[in-house]
């Protein structure tokens, strides 16, 4: 509730701050405030659309706008927004990961969720995989066999990369 209050204040002070709108929606979801989620997602999408209108190469605005559309239940349009973000920055694993997390919490499309996470976990060289065990957004799928498989494979891959880096430092 305290975080929601602060993010709401930030969003009121700087309405174009997409991050604050997105974090407000997440805080409202955590509190079970469906109306708050909808209001924040509507504002997030409105301001993301304005940002994209000003700068059609704004990858972050496309990504956050896509997440807002998921929260509003418009998965098909959300996919279009994410696709546009990835045309701008195809290697952006954070956009993909955040989209998957939003889908986990606002949709039941496991096929799409795992398609995205398969891609991300196979390519992340650290930060996304290393924080996955702490990310509450993944709690709904954490016990799913497919998640456990791709997460274990990603951890194994990172351990190997870490060992190789340690060897290079020795040599």
User: Contact at 8 Å (CB) between 49 and 30?
Assistant: no
Catalogue the long-range contacts made by 22-30 (C-beta closer than 8 Å, 24 or more residues apart).
22/64, 22/67, 22/68, 25/68, 25/71, 27/1, 27/3, 28/4, 29/71, 29/105, 29/106
- Among the residue ranges 43-57, 59-73, 90-104, 124-138, the one predicted with the least confidence is 124-138
125 confidence band (pLDDT: 50, 70, 90): confident
State the Cα–Cα distance between residues 124 and 94, nearest whole angstrom: 9
Average pLDDT over residues 134-150: 96
Average pLDDT, the chain: 94
Q: What is the pLDDT of residues 8-29, one digit of tens each?
A: 999 999 989 999 999 999 999 9
Report the C-alpha gap between 146 and 6 in whole angstroms.
37
Q: What is the mean pLDDT of residues 55-63?
A: 96
pLDDT the model gives residue 108? 85
Helix/strand/coil for 75:
helix
Q: Is the pLDDT of residue 156 over 90?
A: yes
Q: For residue 15, give both structure tokens.
A: 């309405």
- Which pLDDT score is estimated for 2? 94
Confidence band for 162, pLDDT divided at 50, 70 and 90: confident
């Amino acid at each position: 509730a305290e975080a929601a209050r602060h993010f709401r204040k930030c969003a009121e002070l700087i309405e174009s701050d997409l991050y604050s709108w997105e974090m407000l929606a997440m805080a409202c979801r955590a509190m079970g405030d469906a109306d708050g989620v909808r209001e924040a997602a509507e504002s997030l999408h409105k301001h993301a659309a304005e940002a994209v209108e000003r700068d059609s190469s704004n990858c972050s605005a496309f990504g956050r706008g896509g997440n807002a559309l998921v929260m509003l239940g418009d998965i098909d349009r959300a996919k279009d927004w994410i696709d546009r973000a990835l045309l701008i920055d195809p290697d952006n694993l954070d956009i993909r990961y955040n989209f998957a997390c939003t889908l986990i919490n606002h949709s039941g499309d496991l096929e799409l969720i795992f398609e995205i996470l398969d891609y991300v976990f196979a390519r992340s060289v650290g930060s996304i995989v290393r924080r996955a065990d702490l990310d509450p957004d993944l709690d709904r799928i954490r016990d799913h066999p497919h998640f456990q498989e791709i997460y274990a494979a990603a951890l194994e891959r990172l351990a190997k990369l870490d060992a190789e880096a340690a060897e290079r430092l020795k040599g």
